[in-house]
Structure 1
Amino acid sequence: MRILLVEDNQALADGLSAILRGTGHAVDAVSDGASADAAISAEAFDLVILDLTLPEMDGLEVLRAMRARQNRAAVLILTARGAAEDKVKGLDLGADDYMSKPFDISEFEARVRMLLRRQAGLRSSALSFGGVDLDLNSRTFSAGGTPLDIPARELGLLEILFLRAGKVVSKEAIIQSLAAFDDDLSANAIEQYVSRLRKRMAPHGLTVRTARGIGYYLDKAAPV
């Protein structure tokens, strides 16, 4: 999943970015409202974590402009403004959730998981396809109760395909979900990850099929 963090406190931004990247998400961080507005206009994000008091453009203005463009990415407002009227205004403008600073990191992580799960249209954190299970809370895969050891990029790719099992996901959508601003992720690199993932999933009855010229989709492997 791809996340945009909009926070002008550099220490907090660095800490939250490290936490989110540590759970396998692609994270872009900007420190002012104008940069946030430009990023949201140009890129596709699953979640925007948005401070309200920002240089150049207020966070509520960023949110208003985002929703005016019909951008439906989930938004978590994260701010030191604790007044009820600010919370109500943010929610009325289309925010999905609101946390006041200071906050508990474990609660922050739980809210991020909840919003990403909701964004994917899921009610449960436990998913199964074929003989493989996905726990969205821990972002871990298992087969027959045994955890699968999957490198970070392949895990991210499998998660994207797993959440849309049976449906074609374009290469462009995969690159956008896996890569942050400063990542150099090419279509050729995606092909290599797909090839490795096919080998890794073969013992568990799953495969990644190619929709030529379009992208890839997760499918159950034919019995041998």
Structure 2
Amino acid sequence: MFGFARELPEAKKHRLKDVDQVHAVSYIEEDDEILSGHLKHLPKAIWNILRNPTFVACMVVGIFESVVINGFAAFMPKILETILSTTPTIASYMSSLIILAAAIGVIVGGIVIRKMKLQVGGMLKLMVICHVIALITLGTFLLQCPPRTFVGINIDYNNQKLIDTDSPSSLDVDCNRDCDCTDEWNPVCHTETGASFYSACHAGCKTQISLNNSEKEWLGCKCLKRYLNNQTLSKNDERLSAGY
């Protein structure tokens, strides 16, 4: 590193050119009274800054970006968890992809600017185009997976839609009433239909088995058979797995 010069050839010329582009409108001389530091020149200095379209554009974009980024940084995992009906862990992993996307954006932006030899005006146009595209794609947050089927919460044990989803008695029916189930949230899922139960107890399950990969499954679930209208199930179809 010590073998390189302090700056590349013609760097000073390019630097002055860049300054002229940025301050094309609000350029001031070194001996201008604005630079004297007196408070009475503050309004004039502010007006001079506001006349700089480059500065104003960057400030406006930065403000709107900070609002969006701060909001997403706080609530993105919860948004993804709700939209995609996934677990908090997976939602957090997916949120971290923003860092990779931002890094790729910086690299691609630099390549585009270099290949197209964009000056300040071209950079501003590229910035506006990218933000308009980002604004349009925000509509994808309106897309989401269909709601999951939770027996006893939004679907009753007879596979009918519940009208009063706030009723606590919808979880306790004759197929699990003798199980003395608690209110602990420990969902189990029927992989064939995608239906989930509040817990193995609320599904009326009798037997729990442990698989080789430490996962658990439940057998002999009376409420599952009732939900499927007493269909005859094979041993594989009558199992409930942990999760939802």
The structure with more helix, counted as a fraction of residues: 2
Shared fold, TM over 0.5: no
Larger radius of gyration: 2
Greater relative contact order (Cα < 8 A, sep 6+): 1
Give me the TM-score of the superposition, normalised by structure 2: 0.27
| TM-score with structure 1 setting the length | 0.29
Please identify which structure carries the higher strand content.
1
